[in-house]
Amino acid sequence: QAGTNNRRIQCSKLFMTTNNVEEHLQTRIFEYYAFADNEMRNIDENVIIGDLSSPLKSEILSHFCLVPLRECAYFDAYSDGAIFSLIKSLKPYVAVPGEHLSEIGKECNSLYMFQKGSLCTKDATGAITNVAEGAIIGHLATSASSKREGLPTHQLQIELITANLSRSKGNPYVIVENGRSRCRSLIKNSRNWMEKIDMKVKVENGKNHKTKIIVKEWRKRQNHATIGRGEVVASESVSSDVVVCSITDERGKAVGSIELRARLTALSETKQLSSHELTCTALSFSHLYRLDISDDQGLTDYISRSTSLNIVDRIPTEICEDIKELERENKMPGGTPNDGVDWDNPVSLKSIPSTQNSVDGEGKRRSVFFLEWADTPN
């Protein structure tokens, strides 16, 4: 494999040098090769998933994406069956550094489920936030979230000072969670944290806001481990004292603590958001799963047709087009004239004769479409 990788790099160098490719673009291409060789280990996820049977493919994609999809406000009205249907349409995707997955004021034709890497978002006021793993990126997701929860009213600042974590091996980071909105800190390898996390939140009543703190540990080529969770209450007080946030594991056992400061400030008119849209940019090579909006729209149309009482209206569009073409030729699949057929009242039709082995003029088997109705009701 090392020889194959080296030959690919040498051939690419020769090709790009011969065709006067800009050095900046050459650098980006070689960085991608390094990511594919070292981080991905030359594994093509599209090939692996494509070789699986349909049930296994759905199961492995559900392992990564079921929970994020179920938690997204855009899919609140979707049944579990509809969610599983969408999961079959997901495709692995790698975002390169500097790539915009969504931009304010521009159409976004995909939703992305963030798995690993480094992404940040910037809102209309210029506020920048690091994206936490498991987030769904796209204008449809942020629009649904703003409709359900409303636009932010306050600025929340969490200042991380020091951490004392007994179960950490040296690469912890913090996720700040407010409802279904989450952002994350940088990965630290020392006890002194000294980092500020800013995010905009909606405060319902009063001047206090409870925020969840999730501490995780980064692990190379593995799922990041959850060390523990804690809670902190931010208030609108002028001066915020340093507080100690106790971190406990899933059994309620203390695994450490974080010293931090939490401030809550009402948004001024200049910092209030007028749009739900965000610009999301990849800071490093990032692994995601992509859902095309066209696949979601196709499922929505199918569900809408399924509620129709008229069976003909449930026929997929492509089949209806074949029927119209046959009507123009004034013959049905078996060669029987279609005079007198009323497609608006199909119950009156008793049968449509067809030959299963019908062939066209080129000797190819013709698609056969069967319809069956009960006797005409009294």
pLDDT tens-place values along the chain, 378 residues long = 777 878 888 888 888 888 888 888 888 888 888 888 887 777 888 888 888 888 898 899 999 899 999 999 999 989 888 999 999 999 999 999 999 999 999 999 999 999 988 999 999 888 899 999 889 999 999 999 888 888 888 888 899 999 988 877 778 899 999 877 888 888 887 778 888 998 888 887 767 888 999 998 887 766 788 899 999 988 887 667 889 999 999 888 999 999 999 988 888 887 887 778 999 999 999 999 999 999 999 888 888 877 765 666 666 665 556 666 666 665 544 444 445 555 555 544 444 444 444 455 555 555 554 445 445 454
Identify the pLDDT of residue 352: 45
Identify the pLDDT of residue 312: 65
**From residue 74, how far is each of 141, 278, 288 by CA, in Å?**
5, 16, 18
| pTM exceeds 0.85 | no
| Residue 96 CB partners (closer than 8 Å, separation 6+) | 28, 32, 282, 285
What single string gives the DSSP state of each residue in 181-225? EEEE----SSSEEEEEEEEEE---SSSEEEEEEEEEE--TTSPPE
User: d(Cα 40, Cα 221) in Å, to the nearest integer?
Assistant: 8
Contact (CB, 8 A) for 294 and 89? no
Virtual torsion, Cα 345, 351, 357, 359, nearest 10 deg: -40
Contact (CB, 8 A) for 217 and 126? no
Beta strands in the chain (DSSP E): 91-95, 100-102, 110-116, 119-122, 128-130, 136-137, 154-165, 172-178, 181-184, 192-201, 208-217, 225-235, 243-248, 254-266, 279-282, 286-292
Tell which residue, 302, 288, 308, has the closest CA to residue 79. Answer: 302
Identify the pLDDT of residue 309: 57
Helix/strand/coil for 75? helix
Identify the pLDDT of residue 120: 93
Identify the pLDDT of residue 131: 92
Identify the pLDDT of residue 282: 95
Identify the pLDDT of residue 360: 54
DSSP 8-state code for residue 348: G
Identify the pLDDT of residue 221: 63
| Residue 74 CB partners (closer than 8 Å, separation 6+) | 111, 136, 140, 141, 143, 144, 145
